[in-house]
Chains A and B, each alone.
Chain A
Amino acid sequence: GDSVTQTEGLVTVTEGLPVKLNCTYQTTYLTIAFFWYVQYLNEAPQVLLRSSTDNKRTEHQGFHATLHKSSSSFHLQKSSAQLSDSALYYCAFPVTGNTRKLIFGLGTTLQVQP
């Protein structure tokens, strides 16, 4: 079946250091796009990154991710974490067909400490 596996639980990083959140997926669909959503405390999940092109780096707000279909991965990285990056991060992709429902991972909480 369709699934997303993310770095589990809580990732703690010191401000200014690099961070990487892993995301791998499994699907039988010819998937159109992959997303990273970020959810700050008490706010709505919002799109951080979207990619539909294999092996192309996508960047936004200092974060970047490259979709690698050969390894079924879409890892999220940032070279220098900021305190304001502390949030819950979801990796997800929509299934094809009328539903377009999102298949989510469990989410990874990123905590950036001073």
Chain B
Amino acid sequence: DTTVKQNPRYKLARVGKPVNLICSQTMNHDTMYWYQKKPNQAPKLLLFYYDKILNREADTFEKFQSSRPNNSFCSLYIGSAGLEYSAMYLCASRGLGGRDTQYFGPGTRLLVL
């Protein structure tokens, strides 16, 4: 089973409020990623976990937090949502020896009003 699950599928948030998105996988993959996809833009990496080590991209360093309480779960946390956070958020996972293949979830569409 190569399923990556994301919850919720749709999220409506108010400006200034926190947002927490959840991702899970049961493939025992050591790396989990969060990408952001906006209209007319390519998906862009926000951060990733390799095992328990969090790596955040330089240009999104202060905007997103994440946690990985165990191998299967990974969250994406926005402390104070702004309009610019409206986007599709895609979670992916990759295992060692997986020939660089990343397995994606269906995404969470976040709308900030």
Chain A residues, CB < 8 A from B74: none
Bound Cα distance from A105 to B43, whole angstroms? 8
Chain A residues, CB < 8 A from B94: 100
| B105 A105 Cβ-Cβ under 8 A | no
Chain B residues, CB < 8 A from A104: 42-44
Interface contacts (Cβ under 8 Å), in number, total 53
**Range of interface residues on B (Cβ < 8 Å):** 20 to 34
Chain B contact residues: over half helix, strand or loop, or mixed?
strand
Chain B residues, CB < 8 A from A107: 42
Within 8 A of A (CB), among B14-60: 31, 33, 35, 40-45, 48, 50, 55
Query: B31, B35, B40, B104: which contacts A100 (Cβ < 8 A)?
Result: B31
| B42 A105 Cβ-Cβ under 8 A | yes
Bound Cα distance from A22 to B101, whole angstroms? 21
Count how many chain A residues have C-beta atoms less than 8 Å from C-beta atoms of the other chain.
25
Chain B residues within 8 Å of A, Cβ to Cβ: 4, 31, 33, 35, 40-45, 48, 50, 55, 90, 92, 94, 99-107
Q: List 18 A-B contacts (CB under 8 A).
A: A32-B100, A35-B101, A42-B106, A44-B4, A44-B90, A44-B105, A44-B107, A45-B104, A50-B99, A52-B99, A100-B94, A101-B45, A102-B35, A102-B43, A102-B92, A102-B102, A106-B41, A106-B42
